């Protein structure tokens, strides 16, 4: 406990210093900052273990089946490879990308989001329920299709589906995060992890060597030169590439999508200090690496145009 406190202080100080040097707007953070129902995007790793809404300690939840699912959903979200090993061959939890269990601003937050579904999904060209969306994150971001080390026969694999008990529990947790929100009402914090269209650099103009140099400067301390993640106290980032990472059909395998995450979430000790350009160069470097293959890519973007940054898809 003591070591963790020391470590947090150290991380906090380096983070605060860095933000002073690099970003005049973001002053040093003196207390746990909240932005509405979310943890502020300007805080550093000091808030890594904070959950504004934590079902494990929330006394309004009882002993009912639903309350138990909400609690299990939270545990699945924050510790997926342990809670659902049959679906997760890699080392990623949902909360690796949706920081603070989906409760941090500009880190793909999920507060209120359940009330936005069902919604049209461009990749699949059809209406998506929340459970469809969760299954997709399992398939792609968590590489569930890689459980057998590649698809040999469909019968051999246990893939998550819309009514798998794990998917229902995750859905219960995410729906709980939307209690009190109006159906279909747009949320100020949704869709903020984006690089504005006008600041996007054409994919062929991005320089992965520059991205690599920036990665070595700003990311290796925690992610390692091999991108596989270094333990920092009780936290360890998931592999950014290689067999244990997200697969090539994931949202994070798209350059602008990944850049939008990196731009506002990372470096963890100084979020918001990279420029749009730097975030894109780093994303181009990370997504030039080999990662598991999503076997159903040819079924994506059939009715919609293939996005320019889907670099792992064959050109159409
Ligand atoms: C590798 C990073 C990554 C991991 C791991 C991940 N996600 Fe996601 N998730 C994303 C990205 C990126 C998006 C947004 C994609 C886009 O831009 O359309 C997203 C979107 C979502 C959405 C829709 C959000 C919205 O506002 O519409 C939900 C719900 C979701 N994820 C749930 C999960 C769950 C549950 C898990 C774990 C089983 C998970 N995610 C794991 C990256 C990830
Ligand atoms: C101070 C340590 C630290 C630094 C520096 C850092 N990260 Fe991270 N990063 C983490 C941790 C820890 C996580 C996992 C988040 C969690 O579980 O709360 C993470 C998560 C991520 C993720 C989500 C998927 C994953 O691997 O877990 C991406 C992508 C990422 N970092 C990219 C970067 C990039 C690019 C840089 C450099 C610009 C960077 N990070 C710098 C600690 C760091």
Provide the greatest CA pair distance for the chain. Answer: 56
The per-residue pLDDT for 30 is: 38
The per-residue pLDDT for 212 is: 98
The per-residue pLDDT for 115 is: 97
Q: What is the mean pLDDT of the chain?
A: 88
* Domain boundaries of the chain, sorted by first residue: 197-299
The per-residue pLDDT for 94 is: 97
The per-residue pLDDT for 28 is: 39
Q: Which atom of ligand 1 is nearest to the CA of 117?
A: 27
The per-residue pLDDT for 157 is: 57
How much of the chain, in percent, has pLDDT values that exceed 70?
Answer: 86
Q: Is 222 in the pocket of ligand 2 (CB under 6 A)?
A: yes
Q: Which atom of ligand 2 is nearest to the CA of 11?
A: 1
Condensed to tens digits (0 to 9), the pLDDT of residues 68-108 reads 999 999 999 999 999 999 899 888 999 999 999 999 999 99
Q: How far is the CA of 215 from the centre of ligand 2 (A)?
A: 11
In this predicted structure, the answer to whether residue 285 has a pLDDT above a threshold of 90 is yes
> Residue 248: which residues within 8 A CB-CB, separation 6 or more?
291, 292, 293, 294, 297, 312
Is residue 280 within 8 Å of residue 201, measured between CB atoms? yes
Ligand 2, atom 21: nearest CA belongs to which residue?
237
Q: Which atom of ligand 2 is nearest to the CA of 235?
A: 12
Task: Report the run of H or E that residue 236 belongs to, with start and end.
Answer: strand 235-236
In this predicted structure, the answer to whether residue 1 has a pLDDT above a threshold of 60 is no
Nearest 5°: CA angle at 122, between 118 and 128? Answer: 20
Q: What is the DSSP string of 58-89?
A: -TT--SSHHHHHHHHHHHHHHSHHHH-TTT--
pTM: 0.91
Q: Is 267 in the pocket of ligand 2 (CB under 6 A)?
A: yes
In the three-class reduction of DSSP (H, G, I as helix; E, B as strand; rest coil), residue 174 is classed as helix
In this predicted structure, the answer to whether residue 8 has a pLDDT above a threshold of 80 is no
- pLDDT grade for 12, boundaries at 50, 70 and 90: very low
Q: Which ligand is nearest to the Cα of residue 133, counting in written order?
A: 1
- pLDDT grade for 182, boundaries at 50, 70 and 90: very high
- 261 vs 150, which has greater pLDDT? 261
* Class of the domain covering 197-299: mainly alpha
Dihedral of CA atoms 251, 224, 78, 163 in degrees, nearest 10, equals 40
Ligand 1, atom 41: nearest CA belongs to which residue?
94
The per-residue pLDDT for 10 is: 47
Ligand 1, atom 15: nearest CA belongs to which residue?
251
The per-residue pLDDT for 27 is: 39
Condensed to tens digits (0 to 9), the pLDDT of residues 207-232 reads 999 999 999 999 999 999 999 999 98
- Residues with beta carbon inside 6 Å of ligand 1? 80, 92, 94, 96-98, 108, 110, 113, 133-134, 137-138, 141-142, 170, 174, 190, 246, 250-252, 257
- 315 vs 149, which has greater pLDDT? 315
In the three-class reduction of DSSP (H, G, I as helix; E, B as strand; rest coil), residue 214 is classed as helix
């Amino acid at each position: 406990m003591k070591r963790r406190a020391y470590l947090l202080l150290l991380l906090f100080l380096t983070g605060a210093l860095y933000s002073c040097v690099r970003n005049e707007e973001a002053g040093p953070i003196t207390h746990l900052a909240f932005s509405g129902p979310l943890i502020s995007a300007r805080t550093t790793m000091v808030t890594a273990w904070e959950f504004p809404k934590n079902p494990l300690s929330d006394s309004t939840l009882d002993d009912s089946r639903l309350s138990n699912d909400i609690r299990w959903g939270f545990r699945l979200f924050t510790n997926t490879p342990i809670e659902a090993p049959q679906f997760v061959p890699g080392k990623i939890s949902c909360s690796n990308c949706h920081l603070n269990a989906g409760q941090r601003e500009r880190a793909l937050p999920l507060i209120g989001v359940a009330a936005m579904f069902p919604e049209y999904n461009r990749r699949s060209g059809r209406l998506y329920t929340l459970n469809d969306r969760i299954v997709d994150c399992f398939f792609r971001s968590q590489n569930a299709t890689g459980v057998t080390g590649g698809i040999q026969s469909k019968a051999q694999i246990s893939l998550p589906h819309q009514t798998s008990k794990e998917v229902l529990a995750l859905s219960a947790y995410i729906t709980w995060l939307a209690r009190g929100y109006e159906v279909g009402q747009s949320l100020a914090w949704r869709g903020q992890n984006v690089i504005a269209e006008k600041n996007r650099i054409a994919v062929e103009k991005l320089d992965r060597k520059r991205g690599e140099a920036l990665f070595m400067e700003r990311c290796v301390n925690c992610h390692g030169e091999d991108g596989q993640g270094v333990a920092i106290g009780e936290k360890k980032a998931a592999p950014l590439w290689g067999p244990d990472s997200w697969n090539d059909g994931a949202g994070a395998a798209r350059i602008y999508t990944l850049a939008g995450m990196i731009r506002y979430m990372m470096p963890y000790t100084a979020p918001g200090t990279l420029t749009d350009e730097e975030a894109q160069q780093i994303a181009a470097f990370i997504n030039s690496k080999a990662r598991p293959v999503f076997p159903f890519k040819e079924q994506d973007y059939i009715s919609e145009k293939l996005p320019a940054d889907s670099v792992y898809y064959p050109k159409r």
